[in-house]
Homo-oligomer: A and B are copies of this chain.
């Protein structure tokens, strides 16, 4: 009899934690992801703002599991589940269909941007949910400055105006990092241009930034952003987005060639393809033991799952929820194999943080410990280094941060346009004849 097959959909924090928790068990684990790497999402905004290399925040999945022989990897997208046959249907980048049988299934497919059907938002907005997104935003931001340098008349039309929608941690972090990129680096790169004409507008629908944080943290974030020249607009919402302007619900028109969309998230639409029950934000309904009702041996974890919290609400879409629920689902599988009863999942809240810039951050830790300014910033740096996968990545990020801090310089402000390369040209000419 061969070992029970565990399939994990998604190589994010949840999927990796689940696979690692199955180390040494007599199971045959396959991780499926559309990318061949894990992406450290909390630092994507630093790639987008030229602070870190793309490779610093990504680590190949096969590399992570080189020393865990019960884990295999498949680069593919899940397209459907056959619950009777207990198989997943997947499609590779080349268009091949690969069928994966499973005895136990962990759905850890994460989240994606939600545009609330705002006209033009998806078409013209830049989300920050993948490494490719981050590189695209970096290219776009830097190219706006090159365009302004080549054709200064464009500045009046908003080529240097950047609208960030969403006052949560991602929006706050992107806005702060853009301001520091402009002030610290691009003023020196574009000596003959008045970089101070660049404008960053942060738009938040509710009356406060960083909704779940305490009032002092919210105020600290706002004052630090404003100190960096960012226009913070609360109680305002976007009505529509066009390539060169953003229209607010108030009727105000902001000329801007860049819209960063950090306003809403929804579960990976895979949930619909799997034919399972979903709830708010498209998240998969699960019990307190993370099982998907009516789908024996199937679990959902992390952002894609609607995990009930103690207060009756759902747990937030945060990395620690993903990791902890991943380990719990792995534990459930071990208990099921051993014939032991299941246990409910309890989330241990480790707190949340957001960074605005150099020596400016807010952190809200358990036991009512609230930090701001330099202590919060150092805590943020340390924790992010600690959780980065791979010693080489940690070293590289650490050196980049030390370098930037000491020199006020940034490294990889490159506009790398893949469209001109070979792969783009052969978009319509796949290399494999066996479709």
Interface residues of chain A, those whose CB is within 8 Å of chain B, are 35-37, 53-55, 58, 60, 62-63, 66, 69, 72-76, 92-94, 96, 98, 123-127, 130-133, 135-137, 139-140, 142-144, 146-147, 149-151, 153-154, 157, 159, 188-192, 243-244, 257-258, 392-393, 395-396, 399, 403, 409, 411-427, 429-434
Q: Name the B residues within 8 Å of A426 (CB-CB).
A: 123-124, 243
Tell me if B414 and A92 are in contact (CB < 8 A): no
Tell me if B189 and A147 are in contact (CB < 8 A): no
Q: Name the B residues within 8 Å of A149 (CB-CB).
A: 73-75
Are A150 and B63 also in contact (CB < 8 A) when A416-B131, A432-B257 are? no
Q: Name the B residues within 8 Å of A417 (CB-CB).
A: 93, 132, 423
- Of A63, A412, A429, A433, most buried by chain B (CB within 10 Å of CB) is A412
Tell me if A423 and B136 are in contact (CB < 8 A): yes
Are A423 and B189 also in contact (CB < 8 A) when A58-B414, A150-B76, A416-B54 are? no
Q: Name the B residues within 8 Å of A191 (CB-CB).
A: 66, 69, 72
Q: Name the B residues within 8 Å of A133 (CB-CB).
A: 421-422
For this complex, 30 residue pairs linking A to B, each with C-beta atoms less than 8 Å apart, are A35-B414, A37-B415, A53-B54, A53-B55, A54-B54, A55-B412, A58-B414, A60-B413, A75-B146, A75-B150, A92-B150, A96-B150, A96-B151, A123-B425, A124-B426, A124-B431, A125-B422, A132-B418, A132-B420, A136-B424, A151-B434, A154-B432, A154-B434, A243-B432, A244-B431, A244-B432, A244-B433, A396-B396, A396-B399, A418-B424
Minimum C-beta distance from A253 to chain B (A) = 14
Q: Which of B140, B415, B418 contacts A135 (CB 8 A)?
A: B418
Q: Name the B residues within 8 Å of A143 (CB-CB).
A: 75, 93-94
Copies in the complex: 2
- Of A72, A393, A427, most buried by chain B (CB within 10 Å of CB) is A72
Q: Name the B residues within 8 Å of A124 (CB-CB).
A: 426, 429, 431
Minimum C-beta distance from A105 to chain B (A) = 19
- Of A60, A139, A425, most buried by chain B (CB within 10 Å of CB) is A60
Tell me if B414 and A150 are in contact (CB < 8 A): no
State A99–B98 Cα separation when bound (angstroms): 54
Are A243 and B433 also in contact (CB < 8 A) when A124-B426, A189-B66 are? yes
Q: Name the B residues within 8 Å of A137 (CB-CB).
A: 422
Q: Which of B36, B96, B415, B422 contacts A75 (CB 8 A)?
A: B415
Are A403 and B392 also in contact (CB < 8 A) when A420-B130, A424-B419 are? yes
Q: Which of B73, B151, B429 contacts A98 (CB 8 A)?
A: B151
Minimum C-beta distance from A245 to chain B (A) = 10
State A147–B94 Cα separation when bound (angstroms): 7
State A420–B126 Cα separation when bound (angstroms): 12
Tell me if A55 and B415 are in contact (CB < 8 A): no
State A116–B82 Cα separation when bound (angstroms): 52
Tell me if B189 and A422 are in contact (CB < 8 A): no
State A280–B129 Cα separation when bound (angstroms): 49
State A233–B309 Cα separation when bound (angstroms): 65
Are A74 and B130 also in contact (CB < 8 A) when A54-B416, A136-B421 are? no
Having A63-B413, A131-B414, one finds 13 other A-B pairs with CB under 8 Å, namely A58-B416, A60-B189, A62-B189, A62-B190, A63-B409, A72-B192, A75-B146, A75-B415, A98-B150, A139-B423, A140-B431, A144-B431, A419-B427
With CB as the reference atom, state the residue of chain B lying closest to A146.
B75
Q: Name the B residues within 8 Å of A427 (CB-CB).
A: 419
With CB as the reference atom, state the residue of chain B lying closest to A63.
B189
State A396–B402 Cα separation when bound (angstroms): 13
Q: Which of B74, B154, B418 contacts A150 (CB 8 A)?
A: B74
State A186–B92 Cα separation when bound (angstroms): 19
Q: Which of B60, B93, B420 contacts A414 (CB 8 A)?
A: B60
Q: Name the B residues within 8 Å of A409 (CB-CB).
A: 63, 392
Q: Name the B residues within 8 Å of A146 (CB-CB).
A: 36, 75, 92-93
State A133–B72 Cα separation when bound (angstroms): 30
Minimum C-beta distance from A152 to chain B (A) = 11
Q: Name the B residues within 8 Å of A53 (CB-CB).
A: 53-55
